[in-house]
Amino acid sequence: MVPLLLVLLLALVLFGAGFALEALWWVAVIVLVVWLLGFVMRSAGAGGKRGRWYRW
């Protein structure tokens, strides 16, 4: 009975980790798209002036 519970617990942990990693990949893709859009809009806009759109 204990080995079965351990296997089920391991499966649950691995499933949760897989879901979390998948969610982090989607967050990373969204952040990258927002950053690229801001970079392109700032570089192409402002009357031809090129500048930074972030404060790093």
Instruction: Check residue 30 and give its pLDDT.
Output: 93
Q: Three-state SS across the chain? A: CHHHHHHHHHHHHHHHHHHHHHHHHHHHHHHHHHHHHHHHHHHHCCCCCCCCCCCC
Higher pLDDT, residue 33 or 42: 33
Kindly report, residue by residue over 3-18, the tens digit of the pLDDT: 888 888 888 888 888 8
6, 21, 33, 44 from 28: Cα distances, Å: 33, 10, 9, 24
pLDDT in tens, 12-38: 888 888 888 888 889 999 999 988 888
pTM of the predicted structure, to 2 decimals: 0.57
